[in-house]
Structure 1
Amino acid sequence: MTERAYTPEITTSFTVHDLLRRRAELQPDRIALNVDDGPTIGYGEWDRRSNAVARGLIDAGVRHGQVIGLVFDGLDWIDYAVAYMGVLKAGATATHLNQNVGADEIVRRMEFCSAVGLLHGEDVRPPAAFTGFTGTVTSMASQDTSDPQIGVDVTDISDILFTSGTTGPAKGSASPHGNLTYGRGPEGFHLFGDPEPLLTPMPLGTTASATTINFSIHTPSTLVICPIDAPERMAQLIEKFSIGSIMITPWLAMQLVHSGATERHDLSCVETIANASTALPPAIARRLLEAMPNARLNMSYAASEAVPASIGHTFDPAVPMATGRPLRGTELRIADEHGEEAPTGELGEIWLRSPAPKRYYFDNPELNAKVHADRWTRTGDLGRVDADGLLHFFDRRNVAIRTRGTLVSTIEVEAALYEHPAVRAAAVFGMPGADGDQEVTAAVALADPAALDELPGFLAGHLAPEQIPGRIHQVDVMPRSANGKVLKHVLRDRLTGRAG
């Protein structure tokens, strides 16, 4: 691997809202968002309405660099998109929230980033404990829809994005405009003909929703948005609109294949499936491809702190657990305990680097010093690179289980559990065991409760002895974050009786 000194590089001249302005000039009538085959918004309307919100915020006293919270839920995507771009056009910074995290957590995050105001959906009641101003898109909008022309640089902070909180309290990171627009410009707006729409069932008020809005400004396709917990509706929309591509998380994929909706609808129009968020079990990947026989399944890996650096490839049944190779502008290092590059095939920490303006943890210099060095991001994830240059994601360092003198990947054990036809959801984690070891423990939701007794014998044919869970608990539902990731720390506490 070639080493070189790294200095910050500005690789784009556009802010996020610059691209919306340009898109509105070039394609004012093209539909940007179609919400569940109902409300739509075009780029011209989006631009004008967000100008009005920006002017309303400025009139309310919002100044450059101040933080505004966005609390939207359900399918209120159009007002969310207008509010988000309005905040950025006012020169402010957005942070994305939803009511699922609870009023206390909303207030904690708002206080953490010194937010001065909060824009919310018409059906959202802002937390009473928040002391800043609050308003809806309607109440905040000025009558003046002209662009306020506030000067914003690509190095200015566009967003404070919070992690999913799957392993503990959510952490906030500051993302500059140039991080989100890296490698993107108006040249991506055009595509000959009428591009096929793209389906994206994502939760509002999350890092994923912010990414979706930014993607909608750049992609030639209309984004069709549907609920995240309605697989039948997802399949209906795919069939009705002849959806060419879908953006999906593992939890959404599991709901889709287990619901039977793939058998009731023709999904052969899908050509690309993009999986993100976390590892997709190979058993689920195969079932998705059976339901969408003309599709390729693109797998990707990224750490929120390292975006836009990412790893990806097309799912290959011959190497089902492979994550991929570095994508354009991404450098990858598997680092040993000394920070040196680990030999091929050996386990180490995944480090990522790109020339884009970086994200840093907000107001946390100690953590930044620990995670970021020479523009590398130390992800805290473990992996290995094989002889063909493919990255194999192993696990989060703080989630992998130390037992019997070896390290067990919860990802690999969960993948084996999903091979059993009765397993609908699985989560694997460590519990205190003998002699300071951890015991491999699993929680499963089953289509047939009688299958619980079959699992140890079934896993013996798929895993090494030290990987087989010593205890397997049956649960009705898994506690999940807004984007569907299992909250393993909550599950562990429930099973040990420390929480309800």
Structure 2
Amino acid sequence: MSVAAPPFRTFVDDILDSLGAVPSREALVHRERRITAGEFRDLVHRLAHALRARGLERGQTVTLLSGNLPEALAVRYAANLLGCRVTHLYGGLSAGTQAAIVRDVETRALVVDPSYAARAAEVAGLAPVPYVLTLGVSSIGTDLLESAAALPAEPISGLARPEDICSIRHTGGTTGHPKGICTSFERAGRLRPEPGGEEAGRPRQLVATTLAHAAGLIADHLLAEGGTVVLLEDFDPGRVLAAIERERITHLYLLPPLLYRTVDHPDADRTDTSSLRQVIYGGCRASPARIADAIRRLGPVLLQGYGQTESGSISVLGPEDHDLARPWLLRSAGRVLNGVDVAIRDAHGNDLPHGEHGEICIRSAMIMQGYWKQPELTAEVLRDGWLHTGDIGFLDAEGYLTVVDRIKDMIVVVGGHVYTTELEDLLDSHPQVLHSAVFGVRDGDGTEHVHAAVVRAPGAGVDAAGLRAMVRERRGAMYEPAHIAFVDQLPLTDAGKPDKKLLRSRAAQADRGGEPLSTGLPFGDSVITSAPGCGRPRP
């Protein structure tokens, strides 16, 4: 007699099992609220019943427009329990771009943080959806939390299928329509909950960047491991440092520019960060000189993760490799993870030997299913089971992977190629430079020129001539920037990466006679600042 196969279980089931194991433990902290594991588990199930009562079912899309609320995390889990796919919009995108995504992913329910009500009304006006549901009392839509409170917390499971899409994560582009990257439940994998010990030994993660990005995925793992997630609404280095000390934070994820701001902050030297066990950084290039600063300040707790939304994790540079006695390792992205195959290939698809630069191609069980509604682009990127990352890099004889540049960011100049990350690393190594961004700008004849935007340390006197002379001496005339702009702040995307698209467009505008790059650029709220008292000269 045949035995029926057990229902398919997702990573959300693993998280809920962990929450149910010790329901009295603290699972989430947001402002003054401290939510137990049992309370949060019940909330997820009640929200799943509330979504189901609205007609949401397997294969439909729930789109989130929310800040870092516990309820936003709960809605994502609840929708996935039903077999729904989830899209979490970046808050920094324009209303038009958000509406285009809402329409494109075939949103059935738009779930809104009440503080985003005005934007949600604008988006829904441009892209009408069957349901606008809010996470609390709001001027628009229906209060989903109120509906959920009246429903039982009876568990729901087994509705998703392995091949169903659990998330569509969009690239954080600031112009045009971002690409939707599809991940199936099967490729999202299972999380392996670890038995919890004493409360003092449980991991405590601080989320200081958007849950729509990598911090949300790390939160999934911490909750599955029996940990606590502490949510901040947005990044502020002073609040991050205060939360680390107050909440005895053990785990933190920051993009490199935000890590620099944290260790440069005046409060850094008087904040107790001894509770930190692991500070993960990644998402964009990291300056070896600035990472060395972070090691000196935080100790042996740094871990670099390299990967893409399309690929999942590719390589890790662990704490043992953050060694000031071996500074060359800080330029690498670490060793390739078990279960991931990496090949460095030339433009014709030939594998290259150790040390030669080529495109990083990877093969693993974590590769995306494809781009949403873009089969031609999917076929271009996914070939014969290999993902072509669009990153240029090389492997050395010891197995360390180094990412040199994005193919699209590489600057083609007369006489060869300029790798932007190499020039940024050189500029950042100057003791009077806090951070830099290098990008190419084409002139009217189509010739590309090297531009750099540089944030100087407070009180620094280095000028463009001095930096050009250093570059010319160390790397040669080909790498010497044609233009260097000194700015008080670099623009960041909503995810926290330097916004080179905006820098490039501003520089091109200046070349056409528009407003030049200046130290007072109004780049928006997400910036790297050179505030008085921030930054210390590096030995």
User: Do the two structures share a fold, i.e. TM-score over 0.5?
Assistant: yes
CA offset at residue 414 of structure 1? 1.1
Measured after TM superposition, the shift of residue 195 of structure 1 is 2.2
| Count of equivalent residues | 483
Worse overlay, 449-458 or 151-160: 449-458
Residue 271 of structure 1 pairs with residue 269 of structure 2: no
* Alpha-carbon distance between aligned partners in 1 of 2:298 and 2:175, rounded to the nearest angstrom: 33
1:122–1:192 CA distance, 2 compared to 1 (3 A): same
Map of 1:328-339 to 2, 5 A cutoff?
A: 328-339=338-349
Question: How far is the alpha carbon of 1:488 from its aligned partner?
Answer: 0.8
Corresponding residue of 2:112: 120
Q: Which of 187, 202, 216 is residue 179 of structure 1 equivalent to?
A: 187
Secondary structure of residue in 1 paired with 2:101: helix
User: What is the alpha-carbon distance in structure 2 between the residues aligned to residue 257 and residue 169 of structure 1?
Assistant: 35
The residue number in structure 1 matching 2:266 is: 260
For the structure 1 residues 416 and 167, does the alpha-carbon distance in structure 2 shift closer, same or farther, using more than 3 Å as the test? Answer: farther
Judged with a 3 Å threshold, the aligned counterparts in structure 2 of structure 1 residues 337 and 359 are, in CA distance, closer, same or farther, namely same
Query: Which residue matches 1:403?
Result: 413
Matched, 1:315 2:322: yes
Q: Is the 8 A contact 1:311 1:326 kept in 2?
A: yes
The 3-state SS of whatever aligns with 1:105 is helix
Question: What amino acid sits opposite 2:171 in the alignment?
Answer: T
More off after superposition, 137-146 vs 299-308: 137-146
Which of 395-404 and 160-169 deviates more? 160-169
1:160 aligns with 2:158: no
| Aligned with residue 76 of structure 2, among 84, 97, 101 | 84
Partner of 2:126: 129
Aligned position for 2:159: 151
TM-score by length of 2: 0.83
Cα RMSD for the two superposed structures: 2.5
**Displacement, 1:191?**
4.6
Structure 1, 221-230 or 78-87: larger mean CA deviation: 221-230
In structure 2, the CA distance between the partners of 1:386 and 1:492, relative to structure 1 (3 Å rule), is same
Quote the Cα distance in structure 2 between the aligned partners of 1:414 and 1:198. 33
Query: 1:366 deviation in Å?
Result: 0.3
Shift in CA distance, 168/320, structure 1 to aligned 2, threshold 3 Å? farther
Letter in structure 2 aligned against 1:229: F
Structure 2 residue 304 is the aligned partner of structure 1 residue 296: no
For 2:293, the aligned partner's letter is R
Helix, strand or coil for the counterpart of 1:55?
helix
Aligned to 1:362: 372
Offset, 1:117: 1.4
1:333 positional shift: 0.8
SS in 2 for 1:203: coil
* Cα displacement (A) at 1:341: 1.2
Contact 1:160 1:362 in 2 (8 A): yes
Residue 325 of structure 1 is matched in structure 2 by: 335
Kindly provide the amino acid, as one letter, of the partner of residue 33 in structure 1. L
- 50, 66, 70: which is aligned to 1:56? 50
- Counterpart amino acid of 2:128? T
Shift of 1:448: 4.1
Given the superposition, is the C-alpha separation of residues 181 and 195 from structure 1 closer, same or farther in structure 2, using an over 3 Å criterion? farther
What does the per-residue CA deviation read over 1:170-205, in whole Å, with 9 as the maximum and x for residues that have no partner?
Answer: 2111111232235x223x353566325434334335
More off after superposition, 236-245 vs 467-476: 236-245
Q: Is the 8 A contact 1:267 1:291 kept in 2?
A: no
What is the CA–CA distance in structure 2 between the aligned matches of 1:390 and 1:13, rounded to whole Å?
Answer: 37
SS in 1 for 2:126: coil
What secondary structure is seen at the aligned counterpart in 1 of 2:339? coil
2:19–2:226 contact (8 Å) kept in structure 1? no
Query: How far, CA to CA, are the matches of 1:189 and 1:366 in structure 2?
Result: 45
SS at the partner of 1:240?
A: helix
How far 1:44 sits from its partner (Å)?
A: 1.8
Name the residue aligned to 1:471: 483
Partner of 1:108: 100
The Cα shift of 1:257 comes to: 2.1
Q: CA deviation at 1:150?
A: 5.6
Local SS of the residue matching 1:430: strand
Q: CA deviation at 1:50?
A: 1.6
CA distance in 2, matches of 1:201, 1:21: 20
Q: CA distance change for structure 1 residues 312 and 112 in 2, over 3 Å: closer, same or farther?
A: farther
Equivalent AA in structure 2 for residue 16 of structure 1: F
Q: Which residue number in structure 1 is paired with residue 178 of structure 2?
A: 170
Amino acid aligned to 1:451: V
Looking at both structures, which has the greater relative contact order when contacts are Cα pairs under 8 Å and sequence separation is at least 6?
A: 1
**CA distance in 1: counterparts of 2:126 and 2:489, whole angstroms:** 31
Task: Describe the SS at the equivalent of 1:270.
Answer: coil
Return 222-231 or 274-283, whichever deviates more: 222-231
Per the TM alignment, residue 287 of structure 1 is displaced from its structure 2 partner at its CA by: 1.0
Structure 2 residue runs of 5 or longer lacking an equivalent are 1-6, 137-142, 516-539
How far apart in 1 are the matches of 2:215 and 2:398?
Answer: 35
SS of corresponding position for 2:161:
coil
Q: Distance in 2 between matches of 1:160 and 1:260?
A: 39
Is this contact kept in 1: 2:45–2:155, CA < 8 A? yes
Kindly indicate whether residue 21 of structure 2 is the aligned counterpart of residue 18 of structure 1. Answer: no
Q: Deviations over 1:210-247 (max 9, x none)?
A: 31342233233322333543211211222233333322
- Cα 1:249/1:333, change in 2 over 3 Å: same
Partner of 2:518: none
- Counterpart selection for 2:210 from 178, 194, 204: 204
Alpha-carbon deviation of 1:439? 1.3
Deviations 1:410-448 (A, max 9, x none): 111111222223333311011125975421110123334
**1:359–1:40 CA distance, 2 compared to 1 (3 A):** farther
What residue number does 2:523 align with? Answer: none
The separation in 1 between residues aligned to 2:355 and 2:367, in whole angstroms, is: 31
The match for 1:68 is 62
Matched, 1:35 2:46: no
> What is the alpha-carbon distance in structure 1 between the residues aligned to residue 132 and residue 36 of structure 2?
26
Q: Is the 8 A contact 1:312 1:327 kept in 2?
A: no
**Is the alpha carbon distance of 1:117 and 1:214 closer, same or farther for their aligned partners in structure 2, counting shifts above 3 Å?**
same
The yes-or-no answer on 1:484 pairing with 2:476 is: no
Query: Unpaired segments of 5 or more residues in structure 1?
Result: 1-11
* Structure 2 CA distance for aligned equivalents of residues 391 and 55 of structure 1: 46
Q: Is the contact between residue 281 and residue 418 of structure 1 (CA under 8 Å) also seen in structure 2?
A: yes
- What is the CA–CA distance in structure 1 between the aligned matches of 2:211 and 2:237, rounded to whole Å? 21
Structure 2 vs 1, CA of residues 240 and 21 (structure 1 numbering), >3 Å: closer, same or farther? closer
Take 2:205 and 2:243, find their aligned partners in 1: how far apart are those partners? 8
**Could you say what secondary structure the match of 1:99 adopts?**
coil
Alpha carbons 2:20, 2:41 under 8 Å: kept:
no
Name the CA distance, whole Å, in 1 between partners of 2:45 and 2:166. Answer: 16
Specify whether residues 368 and 18 from structure 1 end up closer, same or farther in structure 2 by C-alpha distance, changes over 3 A only. same
1:243 to 245, 249, 262: 249
Identical-pair percentage: 25
Contact persistence 1:232–1:261 (CA under 8 A): yes
Deviation at 1:157, TM superposition (A): 1.0
Q: Give 1:166 deviation, angstroms.
A: 6.2
- The 3 A distance-change label for structure 1 pair 137 and 226 is closer
Determine helix, strand or coil for the equivalent of 1:70.
Answer: strand
Q: CA-to-partner distance for each residue in 1:133-189, whole Å, 9 max, x for gaps?
A: 11113422332222244611232111110112168642111111232235x223x35
Distance 1:146 1:100 in 2: 37
